[in-house]
Structure 1
Amino acid sequence: MSALIIGNAVVFSDGRVQDADTIGIRDGIVVAVGTLASVQDAVGTGADDLDARGGLVTPGFVDAHVHLGVGAMDALRCDLSGAASLVEIDARVRAFAADSPAPWVVGGGWDPTLFPASGPQATHLDALVPDRPALLLDADHHGAWANSAALAAAGLDASTPDPADGRIERDTDGRPSGALREGAMQLVARLLPSPATEDVARGILRLSRDLLGAGVTGWQEAALGAYGGFPDFTDAYLHLLRQGSLRGRATGAIWVPRDLTPDGVDAFVAHAVGRARANAAAGLPSATAKLMLDGIVETRTAHLLEPYVGSEERGLSYFSPALVQRLVPALNAAGIAVHVHAIGDAAVRDALDGFARVPPADRQRVRNHIAHIQLIHPDDVARFAALEVTANAQPFWACATALTRQATLPTIGDDRADELYVFGSLHRAGARLAMGSDWPVSSFDPWQGVHVAVTRRPPTEPDATPLGDGEALDLAASIDAYTRGSAHLLGLPGGAITPGRAADLAIADRDPFTGHPAGIHETRNVATIVAGEVVGG
């Protein structure tokens, strides 16, 4: 029997600050919320005390779209994240290659804005790694940089056609130039040696502790399946669960392979059901399928309703609407929710059209969601609530960063700036909101994402022009989406600080409701509680 009393707290739950300053927990469950005296009476003797020191206590944050496995792999490879110049990238690649005896040099995290729009060149990488194949993914993991040896190993030349779900950038003679977009990465990545499961598991464990330290008590690993040079991370998670070392509440989404055809839908659904059952029995809920419908705006691979600036291109669509409208209802009928990656407004519409084909009774048995939602046509905003589809937002992106100014707006047009990340419109239309980070693409610290959701400005740029007139969320709605909204979406037992709920909590070092919004990002997590036990902070 364990008991904990958290006092001197500002308690936030169910979308608002509560009229209470104390929380009582026994055996992993919240048993009382109120005054110190009333909670002490409810909990009884023998409880430990934790002073919140006037900080905000929220339900544990839940990251509804994160890639811990990718981060674990990045740590094993040549890490280019944060490199601010080509000189720094060159130095890191040379140093890694010199120290690594591996037959391939693999890594990633490079900033696409440091290279021309056509991407980096193989000849540049040849000078850094002249003795073996090299493949380096960009910071978004939607593009890759290959040297000539890697292109040759994959048999890529001027006669190689673009795959249906990707693009090979080419020189003036039609030869691959070294930049590979989306599915074209897989032409080379399929040759990469597989890492040891134990190595990946150690990385996931380390990163899960970082999440816990930031106040994140649960998450969804957003792609359980081999793609883009990454393995299926399921075995690494199951390894940790067998050890009993994973403390947060992990869930997963089973990857829908890009080569799925209509004839293969029934087999894939049966496969997903079988994997979901086996994973759940091992402690990894994964009754969700990850359906990636398009790429990203900056490489003109997001699927748009209107052409990109200066061209007739509308991006890439990885699955036909007919296939989506067959697959989604089949998955939902089998009790498998669908987690869609959709950046462009055409991809969002294709996803919603797929959900519209699901009988209401089947929709209500699962929790479908669309992640990223960078562009949504105004006609489709109200469809989220009508079709019971959660808007899975990655709020840290919803501001005018250098990437937005240099690559996003020039690609779609400055006049569409107010159409980016319309979280406010979705909220006003009654859509259920959840939030995630898409880490390692952005920060996994929830307070950084909440800051942007509220201010629509980068955390360290208080004087920046907000992105999107009227699309900000207030602080309460943002925290609620990142806690209760995400917990509900993933079926986790926390999400609220009320008697009978799991005691999954995060304690901040302040009450951000009393400060200026420009300072929200300065909020720090000081303690994290999972099932009544202090596990981070």
Structure 2
Amino acid sequence: MTDTIDLLLIADTVLTPEVIASASGRSPERTAIAVRDGIIVGIASEAGAHAAGWPAAAAEVLDVGDATVSAGFVDAHIHPIMGLQLTRGLDLSGITEREAVRSTIAAYVPERPADEDWILAWGLDPAAFGGREFGNDLLTGIDGGRKLFITLFDGHSALASAAAIEAAGVRGDEVFSDASALGLDADGRPNGMLYEFSAQDLVLSHVPELTFDDRVQQLADLLGGMAATGIVAGQMLDLMAADSFDLLEELERRQDLPIRLRISPSVFPGFTREDLERHLRFQELAGRRWYVRGVKLMIDGTIDNGTAWLFEPDTKGESTQSIWLDPAEYREAVRFFHEHGIPTTTHAIGDKGIAFVAETLSALPASDVQHRIEHIETLPDEVLDEIIASGAAASMQPTHCTLYTRADHTDNWSQRLGDERADRAWRTRDLRDRGAILTLGSDWPIAPYDPRGVVAAAQLRRPAGREEVEPVRPDQSLSARAAVEGYTSEYWRSVGEPGGRIEPGLPADLTVWALNPLTTDPDAFAESPVILTVVGGRPSVSPASTVDAG
């Protein structure tokens, strides 16, 4: 190689496909990666690189010592722009006891300025209702008569105080174009529960938005935080904010995005032909580090709030229908995009919803378009078979299992399903062993985005660092290799594109870890420092790292 090299990265271990497949999970000798114009152009031993004159040809040489370089980690499922709205105000994440939630809110409300029109909170766990009917009696005596809007942790439902319901003019007889619904008391009056996005928007549309400039800065900070944990890219599965492209364009006017974003805009029930055509036109949009590819659909809601689609009702008699009033309309949308060569990814949580999606995909004409199913939370054997037959990729979030369910089934999700269906939780190992493409992610802001914790949870089936917690279905744990591939090569397979491997000709999107994710105890890896992320051949140094620049 005689041409100029932009970056030469040298490390003790580089996780090339050969090293990943090896028994040791370590490079046999120190390895150099040569990058030009954002592409990997060469890989050699350190000695071989010196013999070939690579260091002299390199504009920048970075020696990361005994660190490990992997292909860049990609979060398959994030909501970075929508999440700016969802994560405003008081963070209730992780609080599950009713009185603890009430005391936290009771302490927060009086601290808010009297002229603050709306008080916001997020991350509310359904366990906080203490087994009672969901409703704003949870707020009785603590909301100060003020307008509160509280998003539940799953993002698919919200709780509004009585004052908020009144201010928004919610009557209780509203009709939606999808299966969104309002919680009602015994007299048919709104009780504050807002199920799914159309219902939430009745109140949320009255909540003042952050300023555009504030959102641009918050987006920069968020994506920078993701990069600091080792993420080089993420798939944004929505287009809920109407000015999403404006935000991205303004951020790129000010700076490069810290990570790449692949955007798959949402298609909702009640679409028109023009809506579908508009989503085709979206596919032409791109910036320096963001681009639109694919679309996102939802077949159901969530088990926790009773809006999933199950073969049999949950223990409360709920989760019996698709979010599409006419599920055939969903099939129409999928076929439209398939025929135009556009990949789809579908939120499907309940067993019947997952089966419906798999059957829809199986019926499509043969092509090279790779479709994907998100979440797959409770999975009977026969539906697993249907996924395999359909050729769909699976996109799953291990921390949804480890943070929000318990092995003894005392959590809301398991109690909603009952023991038999709860024992089918997040069957990552079975899907992988059967040959399904399996990619991993966080679904931020539903769960933390740090991939180190997700990789650990995928192997341990419990939260990282919590050895006292009994694992949930430990037989479904992934190997370290499968977990790492779930954030690298399997992601790119799940979208039908090359990538996620360290080999010549592929993009130089890399993550440099202080500890080797293939050989390090998962609990220890969850705390492992991130040395560098490299996006398009351009390194970003973590503040805690030390790198020898040659």
Identify whether the pair has TM-score above 0.5, normalized to the shorter chain: yes
- Please list the CA deviations of residues 158-198 of structure 1 after superposition, one character each: whole Å capped at 9, or x if unmatched: 55568752232222322222222214212222333444333
Letter of the 1:39 partner, please give it: A
> 5 Å matches for 1:383-398?
383-398=386-401
Q: Distance in 1 between matches of 2:281 and 2:255?
A: 23
The answer to whether structure 1 residue 273 and structure 2 residue 280 are counterparts is yes
Give the drift of 1:259: 3.0
User: Which residue does the alignment assign to 1:4?
Assistant: 7
Is the contact between residue 229 and residue 450 of structure 2 (CA under 8 Å) also seen in structure 1? yes
Equivalent in 65, 72, 78 of residue 66 of structure 1: 78
Superposed counterparts of 1:317-396, under 5 Å: 317-318=323-324, 320-361=326-367, 364=368, 366-396=369-399
2:60 maps to 1:53: no
Worse-matched range after superposition: 241-250 or 441-450: 241-250
Q: Does 313-322 or 183-192 show the bigger shift? A: 313-322
On the 8 A contact 2:300/2:350 being kept in 1, the answer is yes
Give the paired residue count.
522
Residues 116/171 of structure 1: CA separation in 2 closer, same or farther (3 Å cut) = farther
Normalising to structure 1: TM-score of the pair?
0.89
**Cα distance, 1:62 vs structure 2:** 0.2
> What does 1:92-491 align with in structure 2 at a 5 Å threshold?
92-95=108-111, 97-98=112-113, 101-117=115-131, 118-121=133-136, 124=139, 127-131=142-146, 133-157=147-171, 159-160=173-174, 164-182=178-196, 183-226=198-241, 231=242, 233-260=244-271, 264=272, 266-277=273-284, 279-280=285-286, 284-309=290-315, 311=317, 314=320, 316-318=322-324, 320-361=326-367, 364=368, 366-399=369-402, 401=404, 405-468=410-473, 470-490=475-495
- Aligned counterparts of 1:499 and 1:312: Cα–Cα separation in 2: 52
In 2, Cα distance between the equivalents of 1:469 and 1:81?
A: 25
1:98 aligns to what SS in structure 2? coil
Cα-to-partner distance string for 1:372-411 (whole Å, 9 max, x where unaligned) = 1112231222333433311011122233745663211111
Opposite residue 476 of structure 1, the aligned amino acid is R
3-state SS in 2 of match to 1:535: strand
> 1:302, CA displacement in angstroms?
1.0
Instruction: Give identity over the alignment, percent.
Output: 27
Provide the C-alpha distance between the structure 1 equivalents of 2:62 and 2:199, rounded to a whole number of angstroms.
53
What amino acid does structure 2 have at the position aligned with 1:88?
Answer: T
TM-score (norm: length of structure 2): 0.87
C-alpha separation in 2, matches of 1:494 and 1:460:
31
Any gaps of 5 or more consecutive residues in structure 1? none
Per-residue deviation, 1:424: 1.0
Spell out the pairing of 1:18-33 with structure 2 (5 A cutoff). 18-27=27-36, 28-33=38-43
- Across the aligned residues of Structure 1 and Structure 2, the Cα RMSD in angstroms comes to 2.7
Return the alpha-carbon distance in structure 1 between the equivalents of residues 206 and 48 of structure 2: 63
Instruction: Give the 3-state SS of the residue equivalent to 1:434 in structure 2.
Output: strand
Contact 2:143-2:161 at 8 Å conserved across structures: no
Query: How far 1:478 sits from its partner (Å)?
Result: 1.0
What does residue 507 of structure 2 align with?
Answer: 502
Deviates more, 1:464-473 or 1:306-315: 306-315
Q: Distance in 2 between matches of 1:282 and 1:224?
A: 19
Is 2:538 the partner of 1:528? no
Question: Quick check: 2:72–2:500 contact (8 Å CA) kept in 1?
Answer: yes
Change (3 A) 1:478 1:311: same
Report the CA distance shift for 1:285/1:307 in structure 2 as closer, same or farther (over 3 A). same
Unaligned runs of at least 5 residues, structure 2: 543-550
Residues 2 and 223 (structure 1 numbering): CA distance in 2 closer, same or farther, change over 3 Å? same
In structure 2, give the amino acid aligned to 1:71.
Answer: G
Whole-Å Cα distance in 2 between the matches of residues 308 and 433 of structure 1?
27
Within 1, Cα distance between the matches of 2:237 and 2:450? Answer: 17
Offset, 1:280: 2.6
1:70-120, Cα deviation, whole Å (9 max, x unpaired) = 33234554544456722123323332x327x45433442223322234234
AA matched with 2:506: R
| Distance in 1 of aligned mates of 2:172 and 2:334 | 37
Q: Which residue of 1 aligns with 2:547?
A: none
Which secondary structure state, in structure 2, belongs to the residue aligned with residue 513 of structure 1?
coil
* Cα 1:398/1:78, change in 2 over 3 Å: closer
2:518 to 513, 520, 524: 513
Give 1:319 shift.
Answer: 5.0
CA distance in 2, matches of 1:416, 1:75: 31
Instruction: Tell me whether 303-312 or 396-405 shows the greater mean CA deviation.
Output: 396-405
Tell me the CA shift for residue 125 of structure 1: 6.4
Q: Find the aligned partners of 1:200 and 1:458 in 2 and give their Cα distance.
A: 31
Q: Residue 295 of structure 1 aligns to which amino acid in structure 2? A: G
1:157 CA drift (Å): 3.4
SS in structure 2 of the partner of residue 462 of structure 1 = coil
Whole-Å Cα distance in 2 between the matches of residues 491 and 316 of structure 1? 27
Task: Write the distance in 2 (CA, Å) between the matches of 1:395 and 1:237.
Answer: 29
Structure 1 residues 221-246: Cα deviation after superposition (integer angstroms, max 9, x where no partner): 111124xxxx5533212222343431
- Structure 1 range deviating more: 446-455 or 21-30: 21-30
Tell me the alpha carbon deviations over residues 227-282 of structure 1, each in whole angstroms, 9 at most, x when there is no partner: xxxx553321222234343132111111112333xxx2x322211011221x2367
Contact 1:294 1:301 in 2 (8 A): yes
Is the CA contact (8 Å cut-off) linking 1:324 and 1:350 kept in structure 2?
no
Aligned to 1:89: 105
